[in-house]
């Protein structure tokens, strides 16, 4: 059952469309890593084949395009905080790290705690058994470097 002018589900969080966009982006980027298709091709395929009701499609497309086009920059940003060999990071962890790093670095409108929480949830849901702990540690250290003003303001407010 829906309620409201936009057809939102009753009691649905206003953040749910972005949460769903991240989940779709995670799936699309995982496929991209395996197939190395273009961002446009992956986006087109997902929009055609997936249900985008209740999904912030524009945010999904933005995340996919940014992660694909900035892959090297994102990998370089997280690498100082990864205490594993490159081979020790599985494909799903790599996607979650890139997605989280993208939001931390290029989407300051999203609070860093939200970015980390969402990435941890994705890793917990789709990753290996302890992937969420690894993701949390890496993205928290990256946030210390990329969101210093936000973190300082938060600490002063405590």
Q: Where are the domains of the chain?
A: 14-157
* DSSP state letters, 1-48: -EETTTTEETT--TTHHHHHHHHHHHHHHHHHHHH---HHHHHHHHHH
Q: Is the pLDDT of residue 2 over 60?
A: no
What's the angle, vertex CA 61, arms to CA 21 and CA 73, rounded to 5? 100
pLDDT tens readout for residues 5-50: 344 555 667 789 999 999 999 999 999 999 988 999 999 999 999 9
pLDDT tens readout for residues 120-154: 999 999 988 889 999 999 999 999 999 988 878 88
Say whether domain 14-157 belongs to CATH 1.10.940.10: yes
- Helix 91-106 to helix 57-69 angle (10° resolution) is 100
């Amino acid at each position: 059952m829906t309620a409201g002018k936009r057809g939102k589900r009753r009691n649905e969080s206003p953040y749910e469309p972005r949460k769903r966009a991240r989940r779709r982006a995670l799936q699309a980027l995982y496929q991209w890593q395996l197939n190395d298709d273009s961002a446009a091709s992956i986006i087109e395929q997902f929009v055609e084949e997936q249900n985008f009701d209740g999904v912030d499609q524009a945010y999904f497309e933005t995340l996919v395009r940014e992660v694909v086009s900035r892959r090297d920059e994102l990998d370089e940003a997280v690498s100082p905080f990864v205490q594993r060999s490159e081979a020790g990071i599985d494909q799903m962890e790599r996607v979650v790290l890139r997605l989280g790093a993208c939001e931390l670095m290029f989407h300051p409108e999203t609070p860093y705690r939200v970015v980390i929480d969402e990435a941890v949830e994705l890793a917990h849901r789709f990753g290996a058994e302890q992937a969420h702990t690894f993701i949390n540690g890496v993205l928290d250290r990256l946030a210390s470097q990329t969101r210093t003003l936000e973190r300082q303001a938060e600490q002063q407010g405590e």
